[in-house]
């Protein structure tokens, strides 16, 4: 009886492990899931914000491609993102712009394309020149908290104790003292005697 129970538990564990392996393999980004004819373009970003291989490329919320690769340019230190796009979407114009977005508040990153109006089409191997890097939530919160948001409501905004305002690097710069203004000064007119 104990032997039969142990065999049942072992079989159950093996089946669970096999299901977990199948699920893990199916959810990885192995190979392109784009059907049909595709072409490759690149775009440069100063910050990709954890953009992953296989992440979608969308136009108006519709998937039209995926991220094929992300590399670093050793001269400019920009991220070069390779996009694999389906040809069935029609010709994108050469002045198409690319922006990195997040699905929801904490969702996956994706690239959104906005077609331009240039009659010249974007061809295989071209680079998208108009790009908008990822918005990093932590940087936005930091700018708001440390007063670099531009509205003067942060703790270190100008005039808050003279401590200085935080710049983008997080360092503070001293606030210059206010210029002394004379109380009720009147213009002096030269006297002639």
Q: How far apart are CA 42 and CA 132, in angstroms?
A: 13
From first CA to last CA, the distance across the chain in angstroms is 128
Q: Comparing 160 with 72, which gets the higher pLDDT?
A: 72
| pTM, to two decimals | 0.57
Say if strands 127-128 and 38-45 run parallel, antiparallel, or are unpaired: parallel
> Which residues fall within 8 angstroms of residue 177, CB to CB, at 6 or more apart?
162
Tokens of 125: 């191997």
pLDDT at 20: 79
pLDDT at 124: 92
pLDDT at 185: 40
Q: Which range has the worst mean pLDDT, 24-28, 70-74, 93-97, 139-143? A: 24-28
For residue range 89-142, list pLDDT tens digits in order: 888 999 999 999 988 877 889 999 999 998 999 999 999 999 999 888 778 888
Q: How far apart are CA 55 and CA 117, in angstroms?
A: 26
What is the average per-residue pLDDT within 14-24?
80
* pLDDT winner (highest mean) among 15-29, 121-135, 174-188: 121-135
Q: Comparing 165 with 84, which gets the higher pLDDT?
A: 84
């Amino acid at each position: 009886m104990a032997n039969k129970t142990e065999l049942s538990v072992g079989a159950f564990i093996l089946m669970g492990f096999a299901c977990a392996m199948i699920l893990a393999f199916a959810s990885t980004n192995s190979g392109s899931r784009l059907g049909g004819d595709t072409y490759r373009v690149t775009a440069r970003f100063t910050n990709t914000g954890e953009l992953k291989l296989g992440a979608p490329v969308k136009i108006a919320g519709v998937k039209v491609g995926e991220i094929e690769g992300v590399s670093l340019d050793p001269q400019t230190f920009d991220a070069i993102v390779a996009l694999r796009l389906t040809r069935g979407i029609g010709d994108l114009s050469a002045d198409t712009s690319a922006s990195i977005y997040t699905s929801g508040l904490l969702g996956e990153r994706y690239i959104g394309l906005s077609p331009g109006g240039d009659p010249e089409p974007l061809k295989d191997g071209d680079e998208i020149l108009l790009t908008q890097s990822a918005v990093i939530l932590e940087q936005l919160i930091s700018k708001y908290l440390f007063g670099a948001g531009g509205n003067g409501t942060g703790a270190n905004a100008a005039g808050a104790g003279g401590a200085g305002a935080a710049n983008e690097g997080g360092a503070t710069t001293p606030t210059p003292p206010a210029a002394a203004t004379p109380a009720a000064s009147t213009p002096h007119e030269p006297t002639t005697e």
